[in-house]
Structure 1
Amino acid sequence: MHIAEGFLPPLHAAAWSIAAAPFVIHGTRAVVREIRDRPESRLLLAAAGAFAFVLSAIKLPSLTGSSSHPTGTGLGAVLFRPPVMAFLGTVVLLFQALLLGHGGITTLGANVFSMAVVGPWVGYLFWRLTRRAGIMPAVFMAMMTADLATYCATSLQLALAFPDMQSGVLGSIAKFLSVFAVTQIPLAIIEGLIGVVVMRVLISVAKPELTILGVLGAQKKEPADV
């Protein structure tokens, strides 16, 4: 999900930045409302951002010669819903680009769209779909699918920018997915298991806050303009 600086054609980089911008703006407003309405959630917000930063900064070599990363965005989507992760994920990716050389500024919009928009929304969808099976299975599914969805989105972005000469965009998508899949599928499963461990810890130390957020028990009531 860290497309390197200058790797995308300028038109594609600009298009993905435009596509990501409304989600980031909405997410910024969501974070402001969250802090205003529930100031006690500040520590969890910071923890969600730090978790995503640390996990997605881990760079693992892929068997196909590329590299893979966990994303960590599924947990924040479960705790605060996807709009918040659009903002936190943007901050994470910006700092990683500036401090670690992961990704780039020109490709920030594309990386934000895949990791901070698509990943959290897919993870949250699976959280809602599997919530009746229990908190831990739902957290596992949220973390795993957020990871996989991010790399599927990245594969689409790269395929659109570099279609195959013979098979076009579809063939290019298959090639990019195959590059990531060997490493990313087991990595996504591991990320799901890590999410379960982290949620168990959070329940033991922050159960009241999780209850207020709606993670435990009934879902929280959202402001009318969300």
Structure 2
Amino acid sequence: MHIMEGFLPIEHAVGWTVAAAPFVAYGTWSIKKRVATHPEQRILLGVAAAFSFVLSALKLPSLTGSCSHPTGTGLGGLLFGPAAMAPIGAVVLLFQALLLAHGGLTTLGANVFSMAIVGPIVAYAVFCSARRVNAAMAVAVFLAAALGDLATYVTTAAQLAWAFPDASGGFSASFVKFSGVFALTQIPLAISEGLLTVLIFNALTRFNPDELRALHPSDNAKVRP
């Protein structure tokens, strides 16, 4: 992740675009509703988008047709819920494809699905589960960001394995190969992203505590240090 331009067969590129589209549409609606109710949260939305853009632009060569990098989508998923990160991630990936030649237009749907849909969903689920068992905030944020990052790459490995199954072992053998190569670079990156996300989250908690509590009015414990 990102999967480069033109690497996926056309039917896979179209299929992942169709799969990602409803999430992006619903996320766009949820952001519009949130901003209409809480216009002061636009700044935090901008922070989440910038964090994801910068981190996911720091790429390392991984394997043919893809690369390894932090995703940065865990922070936005924790702040606004996973739905909001689908359109934010789509915009981030679109800009990177057009301005940095990072990813591509034909693979945009696949990249959005892995980085802006699966990653934030896993991050949010891990965060909520950790808080339910009374894990410290820093631990919950770290686990959410790190595992959300890893979930993105597991999804990318599955996408590549589905598009390019092994001649003898099929999808399973191909998935093991792709995920094994990703693991060499992605596990250290996931740990680093988890630590950095904790630092950013702590800074936001210190300087914007009221806005953070307003993000989850039904469960203020989620954003309480």
* TM bucket, shorter chain: over 0.9
**Residues 1:217 and 2:215 are matched in the alignment:** no
Deviation string, structure 1 residues 60-83 (Cα, Å, up to 9, x no partner): 244x78731000001100000000
Name the CA distance, whole Å, in 1 between partners of 2:6 and 2:61: 21
Q: Residue 9 of structure 2 aligns to which amino acid in structure 1?
A: P
Name the CA distance, whole Å, in 1 between partners of 2:34 and 2:58: 29
Partner residue in 1 for 2:21: 21
RMSD of equivalent CA atoms: 1.6
| TM superposition score normalised by structure 1 | 0.93
Q: What fraction of aligned residue pairs are identical, expressed as a percent?
A: 56
**Residues 1:90 and 2:93 are matched in the alignment:** no
| TM superposition score normalised by structure 2 | 0.94
Partner residue in 2 for 1:51: 51
Partner residue in 2 for 1:143: 145
Name the CA distance, whole Å, in 1 between partners of 2:194 and 2:25: 28
Partner residue in 1 for 2:162: 160
**Residues 1:117 and 2:117 are matched in the alignment:** yes
Deviation string, structure 1 residues 151-207 (Cα, Å, up to 9, x no partner): 000000000000000000000000000110011011101100001110111111111
Contact 1:213 1:219 (8 Å CA) reproduced: no
Name the CA distance, whole Å, in 2 between partners of 1:97 and 1:32: 25
Q: Residue 11 of structure 2 aligns to which amino acid in structure 1?
A: L
Unpaired runs of at least 5, structure 2: none
Q: Residue 127 of structure 1 aligns to which amino acid in structure 2?
A: F
Q: Residue 164 of structure 1 aligns to which amino acid in structure 2?
A: D
Name the CA distance, whole Å, in 1 between partners of 2:46 and 2:33: 15
Name the CA distance, whole Å, in 1 between partners of 2:36 and 2:137: 27
Partner residue in 1 for 2:126: 126
Contact 1:141 1:192 (8 Å CA) reproduced: yes
Q: Residue 191 of structure 1 aligns to which amino acid in structure 2?
A: E
Contact 2:2 2:67 (8 Å CA) reproduced: no
SS at match of 1:186: helix
Name the CA distance, whole Å, in 1 between partners of 2:68 and 2:87: 22
Contact 1:122 1:149 (8 Å CA) reproduced: yes
Name the CA distance, whole Å, in 1 between partners of 2:110 and 2:159: 7
Unpaired runs of at least 5, structure 1: 221-226
**Range that drifts further, 131-140 or 13-22:** 131-140
**Residues 1:9 and 2:9 are matched in the alignment:** yes
Partner residue in 1 for 2:206: 204
Name the CA distance, whole Å, in 2 between partners of 1:96 and 1:74: 18
Partner residue in 1 for 2:76: 76
SS at match of 2:42: helix
Name the CA distance, whole Å, in 1 between partners of 2:221 and 2:136: 13
Deviation string, structure 1 residues 83-134 (Cα, Å, up to 9, x no partner): 0001100000000000000100000000000000000001111001111202
Instruction: Give the one of 173, 177, 180 matched to 1:178.
Output: 180
